[in-house]
Copies of this chain bind each other. A is one copy, B any other.
Amino acid sequence: MFDHEDFGEFAEHLEDMVQRKQYAELRILLSPLEAADIAQGMARTEDHYLPVIFRLLPKELAADVFVELDSDQQEMLIQGFSNAELKEVLDELYLDDAVDIVEEMPATVVKRILKNADPETRKSINEILKYPEDSAGSIMTTEFVDLKSSMTVEDALKRIRRNAFDMETINVSYVIDDDRHLLGFVSIRDLLLADDDDIIADIMEQNYISVQTLDDQEAVARALSKYDYLALPVVDTENRLVGIVTVDDAMDVLQEEVTEDIEKMAAILPTEKPYLKTTTFETFKARIPWLLLLMVSATFTGQIISSFEAALASCTILTAYIPMLMDTGGNCGGQASVTVIRGISLSEIEFSDLLQVIWKEIRVAAVCGLTLAVANFGKLMIVDRLLFHNSAITVTVALVICLTMVCAVICAKVVGCTLPMFAKQLGFDPAVMASPFITTIVDAISLLIYFRFATMILGI
């Protein structure tokens, strides 16, 4: 396996060999490598080296590498291709990969691709392009084996053998009737274990899981992962088989969706490009909306502090503990919200569990809050008062801080666990209800509790 620490060096090595015109050696170096590794190396080489490196690759490997490159590099290569070269690459591509590439290209390039694809491929690409982005239809392939239920196993194996070369997978075949309605599926293992004259109808699995063309790609990927299938059939509203989604594409979808969730949790608008490929302005655009919104919402905390200005002035030591209380509240809320968001996306938590979740968080919060309060009380009295000789920290001041701690932690955990569940129930993405958003709310709550206790206990 390639050690991924090395792609920077690998890219330099490639550039160096091109500069020295060591083309034959380069071809020998690249031929046994995996397409994904070559692409990762090429992604790090200067653009003007790409066409040379690409043309040195054996035809089949070249197509595999092409699929793995990012769309900027694909576009650059296509721009430099002759029509014959373009056709050669297109002929080697699987249909769903061709569609992925077409989806990312500007209109002029798409036109050239479609013009150079053979008529059948062109028709299939156009079909798939009609499905909305992120739908099952948009990630499926139409290159699958279909069988009739009346076939014998021998017929089926013959058909598979005849078509194997162009198919994305032959590990599962799908059984359809004359109107292409899906009846069931049969794995290559079942076929090999059966007798040659067995009838497909008798050996096929009729309890199948299928998805519809407009289902969300994430739901499809999760289903594939959950049910441990290597492919899922995609049907239209009348249960006619139109394509399949294979496990390798499902894995990519899951990775993308996780990245998107993580970005949302960090108050970033999702971008599809890898980090180093985005421009400063793109990254700025993805980050600034939430920053602005959260900055403006922080106004409330400012208002709260302003309205207790007199109290703070009469007991200035209270100010020093505002950041600690706010951060602890934010961290507690963030823990709860992130746990619940992940639980929701793994289908471990449903809305009907709301009360159970809240009750659990209250108990956890009570224990966490008490532990933190006791630790904090000790720290206040021993470190801050005795060691740092800060005489302003009296037992009552410490009490105010620690009581606030307990209450703030409980509020934070409850807010943190409920907001994502309500977001999900109302049809929003629960991931945006993560730490940054929760922090802003919890900050205000913590401050209100703090000043409430301060006025009550210290009488200020």
- Cα separation A326 to B322 with both chains bound (whole Å): 11
CB within 8 Å of B: which A247-266 residues? 247-248, 250-252, 254-255, 258-259, 261-263, 265-266
Residues of B within 8 A of A296 (CB): 375, 379
CB distance from A458 to the nearest CB of B (A): 17
Contact with B along A263-295 (1 / 0, CB 8 A): 101111000001110001101100110111011
Residues of B within 8 A of A309 (CB): 316-317, 319-320
- Cα separation A375 to B295 with both chains bound (whole Å): 9
Residues of B within 8 A of A435 (CB): 266, 334, 435-436
Residues of B within 8 A of A157 (CB): 192
Q: Given the interface contacts A188-B188, A298-B328, A323-B305, does A372 sit within 8 Å of B291 by beta carbon?
A: yes
**Chain A binding surface, main DSSP class:** helix
* Interface assignment of A299: CB less than 8 Å from any CB of chain B: yes
Q: Given the interface contacts A252-B225, A375-B295, A436-B331, does A364 sit within 8 Å of B319 by beta carbon?
A: no
CB within 8 Å of B: which A339-394 residues? 339-340, 342-343, 346-353, 356-357, 360, 363-364, 367-368, 371-372, 375-376, 379, 383-384, 390
B316 touches A312 (CB 8 A): yes
- A4-12, A104-112, A124-132 - interface stretch: A4-12
Q: Given the interface contacts A225-B255, A284-B364, A371-B292, does A322 sit within 8 Å of B320 by beta carbon?
A: no
A275 touches B349 (CB 8 A): yes
- A48-56, A80-88, A174-182, A439-447 - interface stretch: A439-447
- Cα separation A93 to B67 with both chains bound (whole Å): 38
So how many copies of this chain end up in the complex?
2
Residues of B within 8 A of A347 (CB): 4, 7, 40
B319 touches A276 (CB 8 A): no
Residues of B within 8 A of A349 (CB): 275-276
Q: Given the interface contacts A188-B170, A266-B334, A331-B436, does A348 sit within 8 Å of B295 by beta carbon?
A: no
- Cα separation A439 to B330 with both chains bound (whole Å): 10
B170 touches A263 (CB 8 A): no
- Cα separation A265 to B263 with both chains bound (whole Å): 12
Number of contact residues on A: which range applies? Answer: 35 or more
- Cα separation A160 to B171 with both chains bound (whole Å): 14
Contact of A305 (CB < 8 Å), options: B319, B328, B332: B319
A288 touches B338 (CB 8 A): no
B268 touches A338 (CB 8 A): yes
Q: Given the interface contacts A160-B192, A165-B193, A353-B276, does A321 sit within 8 Å of B338 by beta carbon?
A: no
* Interface assignment of A306: CB less than 8 Å from any CB of chain B: yes
CB within 8 Å of B: which A40-72 residues? 40
B376 touches A295 (CB 8 A): yes
**Closest chain B residue, CB of each to CB of A206:** B32
- Cα separation A130 to B292 with both chains bound (whole Å): 53
B356 touches A276 (CB 8 A): yes
Q: Given the interface contacts A170-B189, A225-B251, does A275 sit within 8 Å of B338 by beta carbon?
A: no
B1 touches A210 (CB 8 A): yes
Residue pairs across A and B with Cβ atoms less than 8 A apart, 14 shown, are A5-B350, A5-B351, A157-B192, A170-B188, A225-B252, A263-B339, A265-B338, A266-B435, A287-B332, A295-B372, A305-B323, A306-B317, A322-B323, A330-B330
With A263-B338, A330-B330 known, 8 other A-B pairs at CB within 8 A are A4-B347, A5-B351, A251-B251, A266-B335, A296-B375, A298-B324, A298-B327, A309-B317
Task: Name the 4 nearest CB pairs between A and B, nearest first.
Answer: A266-B338, A298-B324, A301-B323, A228-B248
| Interfacial residues, chain A to chain B (CB-CB below 8 A) | 1, 4-5, 7-9, 32-34, 36, 40, 157, 160-161, 164-165, 170-171, 188-189, 192-193, 206-207, 209-211, 215, 219, 223-228, 230, 247-248, 250-252, 254-255, 258-259, 261-263, 265-268, 274-276, 280-281, 283-284, 287-288, 290-292, 294-296, 298-299, 301-303, 305-306, 309, 312-313, 316-317, 319-324, 326-328, 330-332, 334-335, 337-340, 342-343, 346-353, 356-357, 360, 363-364, 367-368, 371-372, 375-376, 379, 383-384, 390, 434-436, 439-440, 443, 447
